[in-house]
Chains A and B, each alone.
Chain A
């Protein structure tokens, strides 16, 4: 195992520490795309390298050596660890794979439920479904066509200019397929728990993206702030809050409101470049490890063939 193999883990740590900051600092659309890509690349690379480590460590075991036709001593090389040490990374990989799989199933089920609901809501020529409900609510339902669902109570709670902000915000979610980014980032976070914080950053960046689109459509950032605040208050008045799992919502809404009070975000070429470089380095490290391991097994198989 070369030291290069450490790069994806360093990248995970950097993303774990700096992901939230990057998500708030970069313009939302850039943050969403780059952080999602970084999460995916890093999760794939760490998973791959862990599997390679597990396999390389386990390879000298007589059973595997016999099946794979390689020389146990050559494949072991100068690794100081016993072959049984390979069970630890193997167990970790199995656990992470199972988590990723569970997550994929959960996402698939959610998307199927969303699609089914879209169908049951019937055709909506404009994509907007207005639901007669006295609880203020507004959300985007992903699906093949997707729907914007708004309750009559939410529409009544907002004056016309803020209603426009709300509709533009939800349309942005639908139009840019924001749910795909959050789902992919969450999947990556399931496969590599270090990526939970950048995945949360993607979720926030997606809201910020829609906020910026809505503010641009309204032409007045102050109206966008008011829409956010009034909709939040209208919801808080009527919805009984479960006390659990609301931690992030508070800081998110505060951040979104504060960001809308500032001028629109500017491009950050340096940060963008750093994040891209991190992705390239991570992918390169995985490729390099793959080549090195391939060579090692080729040598071991050659030695095995030579001996017999």
Chain B
């Protein structure tokens, strides 16, 4: 595998947070490493998890000889979702929508879905990208793609 460019310390922390949130359940360091889907050193993941725990972004509970890590139980998680949704509606409305919010992908017209589906099928040559063998781009979008992570 080609050497990746060096990343800033915060980048891996965000990726670890996202990986644990995507799993939807508390993860051990080994499971986190698998969920990251990247050839990282186990100790690197351990240190990152510990740092996130120190910063209060993750909580941990002892499990066997290790810990399992979960997103810090935000007392107002529901509130956060609501706040984000309200704000997103507020800023998304009006004549200048989607300018203050830099969305990863803007909303699509139905006819554009085909374009994206085609892109997915033409760009799935990656060795670890072929999770489902039936070659149907639609099938790939289910949550299955997360659970069937490349490294178990």
Contact = CB atoms under 8 A, between A and B. Distances in A.
A173 B15 CA distance: 17
Interface string A272-301: 000000000000000000000000000000
B99 A182 contact: yes
- For this complex, into which size category does the number of interface residues on chain A fall? 35 or more
Interface residues of B, number: 74
Contact of A159 (B77, B79, B100, B145): B145
Interface string B98-109: 011111111111
Given A114-B100, A130-B71, A156 B35 contact: no
A224 B54 CA distance: 32
Contacts of A164: 15, 38
Contacts, number: 240
A26 to B, nearest CB: 20
A132 B104 contact: no
Q: Name the residue among A160, A164, A248 with the largest chain B CB count within 10 angstroms.
A: A160
Contacts of B113: 232-233, 236
Q: Name the residue among B7, B52, B97, B100 with the largest chain A CB count within 10 angstroms.
A: B100
A18 B87 CA distance: 35
Interface in A150-209: 150-152, 154-161, 163-164, 166-171, 173, 178-179, 182-183, 186, 203, 206-207
Given A157-B141, A160-B35, A114 B87 contact: yes
Contact of A133 (B57, B85, B110, B126): B85
Interface string B105-146: 111111011011101100111101101000000001101011
A18 B13 CA distance: 42
Q: Closest 3 A-B residue pairs measured CB to CB?
A: A160-B37, A249-B106, A125-B55
19 contacts: A110-B99, A114-B91, A133-B85, A138-B103, A156-B24, A159-B146, A160-B35, A160-B149, A161-B128, A164-B38, A167-B14, A179-B100, A186-B96, A207-B102, A217-B11, A222-B123, A236-B112, A253-B105, A257-B116
